[in-house]
Chain A
């Protein structure tokens, strides 16, 4: 590969354009992104789309299977499932996004500090993270949510804090791995401050693993919210979230299976979409992939 041969492919595009190009080439990521955008739009414009009030009870139409009026059927109180699913998307997506944001905001800086500084800082942070990871995810989330009091906001905080040690551990391990690379030493020798080395040189190289973890944890967060709602710690009735619908639906699983099927399918598809998008993002962030 000679210098001159390469010069024919002159590339004037910005880095963002190159990134977008790499992402678009990933078919799964495009499908995932489209679905997520669709669900987000539906959640945002819920009042315009939904044919019924999600909380309106209709005792003349209890547990109806899907039909022309109630597209997704009705639940045990005669509420329109389609409307409830769309309003539920608001709560579920919000839980996914906000709790992940909390987990990353806590976990990544702590993991970076533990991995980069090492020594006693690492000891302190890692032991706390280990202690939290020793308790099953849901038990910890439930006790935190119970401590904070039942509400959607508190359940987001509880899930976020519970998920944070996952990011501490992952970031720490990745940082230790990257820290020993020559280019980090090169960055130091050029006169970069420790903070700049950590954020500008190490963090971008840790990002791919974090993105994958993020998409997996969004899924966990949405499902955890479902469990918290079931215990009355998450979304408060009559407002809907996919999790709370799913949990109430299990009482009529044999008689009206569609009540459980819709939220289950939505959770499944959303989680799948996030995973596909995460895969694509990871590859697109890597300039080596073409």
Chain B
């Protein structure tokens, strides 16, 4: 079966500095030789620090940015170099949900106009029935049909994100790229929006590319996880495999940095030291060797390939089989019973809310 989306050796270089005559002097490899696949109905999470190129990868897949090399294939159709016109039907199939719901809605268009736009552009619903469809969509994302003539500034952050989701749904997409869809929202709203995203996926069967730096969210929503560091994927695999048996030191450091809501839980791994190196002048060999506690001489010279070894999921580390066991990164039973009762009560409250 052909995957819904297939990305092959995709790279994107941005020019940072040019000579007077416009010839590039310095470039940044924001995305460096990335390959991945997303199946139908699947959620692939893309995690990494800010500046690692995960948003750029999302925009490359959306064809909002042109790749420097590599191919993007959507159900067997190569969309890497489609012209603007032939890209239009593709745009309908892939939608984008932004991080900041305050910036992604046009302040001078009403909710109805915005949600109706994809219906009009792709002629999904005849003009006479559009208002009806917009109202259905608004209700599907937990808003009221009466909101149709309102402007975005009249809504809260969570409601705005629901409008963005309704607009994406209107196009009836097969893949939705979510670029940090909940990181700009209040913690109390987050779970509502995440649950909405999960429910809609169940209902309509589309796939997600879920870009996030929040591993606890990713663990909750993703089927598979890809970990990015300085433009490269360093580890990719099923969520339980990546979290349960991380094969790359960077993944381990990320997982170890998830806050655990248990005061008795002792930090056994040291947090990651140093900053993300400059992508303009990335470290040689394995990009991670400057911060890696297990770095050896070979790491500074040779770039490790993303390969699976001994039947495990793929990771890009020379020593993926020699790393010490990592079963103490996350507590198996995270919290004590009193805390889980409290969480249960919060959960019950927050699931009631969207009905209002």
Residue ranges of A at the interface with B (Cβ–Cβ < 8 Å) = 1-4, 6-7, 10-11, 15, 181-183, 185-194, 201, 204-205, 285-288
A-contact 0/1 string along B97-123, CB 8 Å cutoff? 010100111111110000001100110
Q: Say which size band chain B's interface belongs to.
A: 35 or more
Instruction: Please report which residues of chain B, range 74-96, place their CB below 8 angstroms from some CB of chain A when the two chains form the complex.
Output: 84, 87-88, 91-92, 94-96
In the docked arrangement, what's the CA distance between A191 and B91, Å? Answer: 5
Assuming A189-B91, A190-B91, A191-B92, is B146 touching A183 (CB within 8 A)? no
- Chain B residues with CB under 8 Å of A190's CB are 91, 95, 117-118, 121, 167, 171
B233–chain A nearest beta-carbon distance, Å: 23
A251–chain B nearest beta-carbon distance, Å: 51
Q: List 17 A-B contacts (CB under 8 A).
A: A2-B356, A4-B356, A182-B98, A182-B100, A182-B104, A185-B104, A186-B164, A187-B117, A189-B91, A189-B94, A189-B95, A190-B118, A190-B167, A194-B84, A204-B108, A205-B107, A285-B108
What is the predominant secondary structure among interface residues of chain A facing chain B?
helix
- Chain A residues with CB under 8 Å of B153's CB are 287-288
B200–chain A nearest beta-carbon distance, Å: 18
Closest to B164 in A: A186
Residue ranges of B at the interface with A (Cβ–Cβ < 8 Å) = 62, 64, 84, 87-88, 91-92, 94-96, 98, 100, 103-110, 117-118, 121-122, 143-144, 146, 149, 151, 153-154, 156, 159, 164, 167, 171, 356
- Chain A residues with CB under 8 Å of B151's CB are 287-288
Pick from A3, A193, A194: contact of B143, CB below 8 A.
A3
A10–chain B nearest beta-carbon distance, Å: 6
- Chain A residues with CB under 8 Å of B105's CB are 183, 186
Closest to B65 in A: A185
Pick from A3, A15, A187: contact of B159, CB below 8 A.
A3
- Chain B residues with CB under 8 Å of A11's CB are 149
Establish whether residues B106 and A183, one from each chain, have CB atoms under 8 Å apart when the complex forms.
Answer: yes
Establish whether residues A191 and B104, one from each chain, have CB atoms under 8 Å apart when the complex forms.
Answer: no
Assuming A190-B167, A190-B171, is B121 touching A6 (CB within 8 A)? no
**Sample of 4 more A-B contacts, CB < 8 Å, known A183-B104, A194-B84:** A182-B100, A185-B64, A189-B62, A285-B108
B172–chain A nearest beta-carbon distance, Å: 12
Pick from A3, A181, A191, A286: contact of B144, CB below 8 A.
A3
In the docked arrangement, what's the CA distance between A162 and B273, Å? Answer: 60
